[in-house]
Structure 1
Amino acid sequence: MLEGLAALASEPTAWVALATLVAMEVVLGVDNLIFISVLSNKLREGIRVRARRIGIGLALIMRLILLASIAWIVQLTEPIFAAFGRGFSWRDIILIAGGLFLVWKATKEIHHTLDPTPGDDMFDAPAASLGFAAAIGQIILLDIVFSIDSIITAVGMTDNIAIMVIAVVVAVTVMMFAATPLADFIERNPTVVMLALSFLMLIGTTLIAEGFGAHVPKGYVYAAMAFSALVESLNIIARRRAQARLPEAAREQ
């Protein structure tokens, strides 16, 4: 650790590696943050901020614990069994399980957004009934998946532990400051909720594909998400301008 800090003080290439890894960790943290924002908005207003802080705090703790267990993390990529003509590691299993959970959760939330009246189907329990403990449990589950993916990415980019720790702390700090504004923005704009849920489904599908060995370039995924967010932002601006042009009586209705 001390050698890594010394390298930061004396080697320009170490600063380049740090900047690159910080950017990568922040981008990877977006997935985690979207899930926490969508899930915390299902809680009653008084405990939403606490749920976000606990979820993001646990994400930081998990990442630091995983960084302290680098040797174990590296072993997670070793195949433990073979199926469908390829070997599967613990990392693959975790990514597939996490991806399936995300797809299921996003599908469930989309179902209740479009049809909020509970019916006789597999999504019988209303989404609004989510309790604090259940929300934290689901956040922890996805924190584990995203943390392992984040640390394995960091290990693949540098072997300097100090750089990894600094990058993780900076990325999680950004998540902490961005969590409430993002969640509030999603809450104020109902159409953004559907977009965020679509992002979660896309992320879940990507995790499943990665678990089965089909590498999906992250740049394509995030470029598609950024383009969709841009289009939705333009739609929001257009709707607000159209509403501003309406007579006051019509706006009140």
Structure 2
Amino acid sequence: MQDILQLVQDPTAWIALVTLVVMEVVLGIDNLIFISILTNKLPEAQRERARRIGIGLALVMRLALLGTVAWIVKLTAPVFEVFGHPFSWKDLILIAGGLFLVWKATKEIHHTVDPVDHKEDIVGQGAMLSFNAAIGQILVLDLVFSVDSIITAVGMTPHLPIMIIAVISAVAVMLLAANPLANFIARNPTIVMLALGFLLMIGATLIADGMGFHVPKGYIYAAMAFSALVEILNMAARRRRERNKTGH
């Protein structure tokens, strides 16, 4: 309790908290886009429940990983080398998650471009199987993003209470934004393709990070923000043309 009181009175701790909350929210965007796209493939009655479960699992994973910070830090230690390049467990997790994300986004793009072909439905056949498969896939990506998130948090502050508050705050923002974002994506087909492009880029970035080629996250999110802005302007232009055609 005394340590917490000292943190409350320390201005640098507040700065670290605000910085880490912003960072965790930004890192959560990747997770949220994936959850939104995947749950939109479910029957409408199951979508909100699946989002809540997916985001709840993300919170549980992050808090569980925070309880094993000493073990998490060891994930960055090299375990083997390939052609002189060391690989850690963190690298392997990022590469596996990136490959999964690239595969998933590619499959989604295929189904979006050719919706008639359902021979390989990514969420399975039948409502219950679809729901279970969706939760399973969300769980896989939750693990990847959680490891990345916690290692980032550990690198920014040594104080566990700050990390816990930042993680809970970021997941709360995800929970509030989940339904509006998913509904917006569902209403706008072009946004779906743009979001899938984001997932491809995020997957490629995870693979690059795992291979030792660090890509600054700021560049990635700046490109995503610019693309989103261009698409919003295109949507506004299309709606203006439609209003002019109808005379309203």
Shorter-chain TM-score bucket reads over 0.9
**Scaled by the length of structure 1, what TM-score is found?**
0.93
Verify the 8 A CA contact 2:35 2:54 in the aligned structure 1. Answer: yes
Deviation at 1:202, TM superposition (A): 0.3
> Once the two structures are aligned, what percentage of the paired residues are identical?
66
Cα distance in 2 for partners of 1:195, 1:4 equals 46
Q: Which runs of 5+ in 2 are unaligned?
A: none
User: C-alpha displacement at 1:116, in angstroms?
Assistant: 1.6
SS at match of 1:246: helix
Within-5 A mapping of 1:100-119: 100-118=99-117
| Corresponding residue number in structure 2 for 1:60 | 59
Residues 231, 3 of structure 1: alpha-carbon distance in 2 compared, 3 angstrom cutoff = farther
Deviation at 1:129, TM superposition (A): 4.3
Cα pair 1:98 1:145 within 8 Å, conserved: yes
The one-letter code sitting in structure 1 at the alignment partner of 2:163 is: M
Q: Does 1:126 align with 2:121?
A: yes
| Pairwise CA distance, 1:3 | 4.9
**Residue of structure 2 in register with 1:226 after alignment:** 225
Match of 2:79 in 1: 80
The answer to whether the 8 Å contact 2:101/2:199 transfers is yes
Tell me, yes or no, if the aligned pair for 1:4 and 1:162 is still in contact at 8 Å.
no
Deviations 1:65-96 (A, max 9, x none): 00000010001001111113211111000000
Backbone CA RMSD of aligned residues: 1.4
Q: Which runs of 5+ in 1 are unaligned?
A: none
CA distance in 2, matches of 1:125, 1:75: 39
CA distance in 1, matches of 2:143, 2:124: 24
SS of the aligned residue for 1:92 comes to helix
Shift of 1:128: 6.5
Quick one: which amino acid aligns to residue 36 of structure 1?
A: I
Deviant stretches of 4+, over 4 Å: 127-130
The residue correspondences of 1:57-206 to structure 2 (distance < 5 A) are 57-118=56-117, 124-127=119-122, 129=124, 131-206=130-205
Q: 2 CA distance for matches of 1:33 and 1:235? A: 23
Corresponding residue SS for 1:27: helix
**CA, structure 1 residues 45+4, in 2 after alignment: closer, same or farther (shift >3 Å)?**
farther
Distance of 1:127 and 1:28 partners within structure 2: 25
Count of residue pairs the alignment pairs up = 244
